[in-house]
Amino acid sequence: MRFCNRCGADVSHVVPAGDSLPRHVCNSCGYIHYENPRLVVGCVAEWEGRILLCRRAIEPQLGFWTLPAGFMENGETTAQAASRETMEEAGASIILDAPFAMVSIAHINQVHLFYRGRLATPAYAAGVESLEVLLLNEEDIPWQNLAFRSVTLCLEHYLADRASGTYGFHEAELTPLVFSPVNRSDDTEPAR
C-alpha cells in the first residue's frame, strides 16, 4: 500500500502507538489501515451418498475440481456464505448440518471454513465460476485434480468421519508448498 484510501496521502509502514505489529499508517490523516485474514467459506454437500464437486472456470486452478466455496461477504454469516457460494458455483440449494473443518493458511492470510450439508433437492448446474458440476461417489473423486490442499484435507476428514458414522470438527494449519509440477497450488483464492 502506498496511499491512504481515505485521503490519498502517502502511508508509512510503522508500528502505531499502542500496537505491536507494523501497519500502513497515513502520514497526513493518521488513519491506520488494518489488513486481516480473508475467510473462505464452503460446504461438503451430499445427495444420496454422492458429494457435490465443481470444476473451476476461473483462476487460480482453472480446470481443477473443488468444493463449492468462496470469499465471505460483509453483512453475511458463515452459514449464509456457504449457502450462497454453493448456489452461485453449483446452482444447488443446501441444508447445512454443522461447521465441519477449519483450515488456517497463515502464509496467504486466509482461513477456509467448510460446513457439512445436504442438497435440498437433486438439482444442480454449473454457475459462471464452474465449468461443470457433478455429484460423485467416493471412488470417483478426482484426487489428483483437486484444486486446493484445504479441499483435499476436508474431503479426507469427511470420508473418514462418514465411514466411522461419527462427524467431528476438524482444525488444521497448512504451510507453504515449494512449487513443482506435482504441487501446483499454494491454496490461494484470488484477492478481491
Say if strands 170-173 and 94-105 run parallel, antiparallel, or are unpaired: parallel
Phi, psi of 18 (to 5 degrees): 85, 5
pLDDT of residue 145 exceeding 70, the answer is yes
Residues of the chain with CATH 3.90.79.10: 38-173
pLDDT of residue 36 exceeding 60, the answer is yes
Decide if 22 contacts 13 (C-beta within 8 A).
yes
Mean pLDDT of 61-86: 98
CATH superfamily, with its number, for domain 38-173: Nucleoside Triphosphate Pyrophosphohydrolase (3.90.79.10)
Structure confidence at residue 167 as a pLDDT band (50, 70, 90): very high
pLDDT of residue 188 exceeding 90, the answer is no
Decide if 118 contacts 46 (C-beta within 8 A).
yes
pLDDT of residue 127 exceeding 90, the answer is yes
Q: What would the pLDDT profile of 58-70 be if each residue is shown by its tens digit? A: 999 999 999 999 9
CB atoms under 10 Å from CB of 69, counted, come to 27
Distance CA 119, CA 59 (A): 26
Structure confidence at residue 142 as a pLDDT band (50, 70, 90): very high
**What average pLDDT is seen over the chain?**
93
Residues of the chain with CATH 2.20.70.10: 1-35
Min mean pLDDT across 18-22, 45-49, 114-118 is at: 18-22
C-alpha cell at 127: 454457475
In sequence order, what DSSP letters do the residues of 46-85 get, joined into one string?
EETTEEEEEEESSSSSTT-EE-SEEEPPTT--HHHHHHHH
pLDDT of residue 191 exceeding 50, the answer is no
Residue range 1-35, CATH number: 2.20.70.10
Decide if 56 contacts 69 (C-beta within 8 A).
no
Q: What is the pTM of this model?
A: 0.85
Note the residue count of the chain. 192
* pLDDT reported for residue 178: 76
